[in-house]
Structure 1
Amino acid sequence: MNRRILQVGPLKPSLAATLIERYDALVLPEDDTRAAFLAEHGPSIGAVVTTGRTGVTAELMAQLPSLGAIVNFGVGYDAIDVETAVERGVLVSNTPDVLTDCVADTAIGLAIDTLRGLSAADRFVRRGDWPRAGNYPLTRRVSGKRVGILGLGRIGQAIATRFEAFGCPVSYHSRREVPESPYTYAASPAELAADADILVLATSGGSGTQHLVDRKVLEALGPEGYLINIARGSVVDQDALVELLLEGGIAGAGLDVYTDEPEIPHELMTLDNVVLLPHLASGTVETRAAMEQLTLDNLDRWLADGTVLTPVPEAASRGATQAR
């Protein structure tokens, strides 16, 4: 098999440096030299290293006829055309587990911040409003709130465990009911939202979950409900979300992801009941180091025996080796 490595899109600087120094990797140009580069080097590329934000399209795969693996830095892989990869016999790996705790921590932090208004209260103090306006308005408690989790995978489970410590009853919706789960199963996202004070999105992205949380679901959440999204922006009908926030159709939102990152609807910038983060849920020193190591481990495994340690589910179903 061809063993040449290609970096597609920006990567963590230390990972990009390792790919060049240890593997003599090439970097796909982003300018008008790209076509000539692919014509010269495309046939020799055996593996691509990319991220869930950049991904690999079917068009690019067609220009890499010897491609055997797409090694993804990140747990999300909706920017990768996995269906085409599987059809072509290309393995796709990601970096699950190692970022679960930090993403779950961020979900809890967003929930506390959104309901208690911590970021807004910080701005209140910094503006000098406390001496002039008096005490900050009352906010909402988190403990004991009904929490609905959309997507009870690794991250969803970790979020549920954390909310349990706050005395929160937890329900969930996934594509299928999780055997022996201690949490209440809801038959649909709308049913989940209707019985929740806090709706947390922890499902995967991609075409299968596009606008899974639509206007109907948001309206079911209602004017006393809060939305927390650490999944993917594509999961939510963002236009409907903005409208309902402006109209008071839902109580507030804590968002780490958006439809057209890094662009964020300007209407949200002035709302104190909305907390906006720059897609940083896994952005800790510890987690990014672990993600980098697992990316390299997947690449090394593919170079050694043509398998990967952590294939994405679609790739695993066609016989890839799952070692973690």
Structure 2
Amino acid sequence: MNWDDLKFFLMVCRVGSIRAAAVNLKVNHATVSRRIKSFEASLGQRLFERTPQGYIKTPIGEEIYEEASHLEERLNCVERRVIGKDNTLFGEIRVTLPDIFAQKLLMPFFGEFCQLYPEIELEIFDSTKVFNLANREADIAFRLCHEPPEYLIGRKLAVIHRACYMAKKSLPKLEDENWLAQQNWIGWTDKFRRPVGKLAREYPKFRSKHKIVSAALQAQACINEMGISILPCFIADIDPELVRVPPYTSEGKYDLWVLNHPDLRNNAKIQTFVRFMTQKIQQSRALIEGETPSLP
């Protein structure tokens, strides 16, 4: 049995379609289709039912999936153990994090690290998807969570604070004591139209208007006077076109963690990267935790 065939089979099982599997495996969808057909032919068994809703495992496909998943975990474990003993500062590190952190906070640190360690290459996945570090979908994850998964190790780096912001060019309008009370929140989605928590309670009469999921786009909407936005302090406090709304307070919302698999605790390049990023983020902790507010 060809292990490469099993990798294609497992991915189709997990995502439910040939095209989605191709995207995850970074190959052409025709390649995935061909490998699945070849795998089925070699076994003499039909492993999937092709339906309008996607690829559904047959009973024998379900059995093979369970066994192949166990095999995959054992092979990944062997790979992690070998990589975990690597004491060189050479090769690739795969990092996953939400794109807003890469754009507005961490990319300068990544650049500085690469200048210090030119033999190390970074592969950066700017996604909110929870990558499986046990399967080595990534080596290091920067995640927003209160409690990380038990199978990972790491440390909490900071608490992400948010505050209410308005366009700086709107400051003269605050002289009208009724102006602020007539403003609106910029909403996120139908489900999350209005913010909740300490910040929201400061302005209970604000209505919600517009829907913008991206924090970067919310900041731009706020700059262009589309409403009041609740934004991460590390984005808005350094933007010269934004200022906090009275009473200028911030609220801790998420914990920022850096995580990796225990089998990689002795990998030299990964631990060097973790120590470097930990130091840099802690130097920026006052900004992240809203201690350097942008006041009028």
Shorter-chain TM-score category? under 0.3
Q: Hey, which of these two has a bigger chunk of strand by percent?
A: 2
What is the TM-score of this pair, normalised by structure 2? 0.25
- Please say which structure displays the higher CA radius of gyration: 2
Higher RCO, 1 vs 2 (CA within 8 Å, ≥6 residues apart): 2
